[in-house]
Amino acid sequence: MSDNKLFFEVPYGVESSKFVALYCVGLLTCACSNGFINSGASYFFLPRTVNLLKKSEVDPEVIRLVSLGCELEDVESLVPHRLQNAMDSLRSGFLEYLSGFPASSLNFNDFFSVSEAYNK
* Residue 24 CA from chain centroid, whole number: 3
- Cα 120 from Cα 99, distance rounded (Å): 42
% pLDDT > 70, the chain: 76
pTM attached to this predicted model: 0.81
Interval 8-42: pLDDT, tens: 777 777 888 998 999 999 989 888 776 655 566 77
Integer Cα distance of 113 and 26 in angstroms? 19
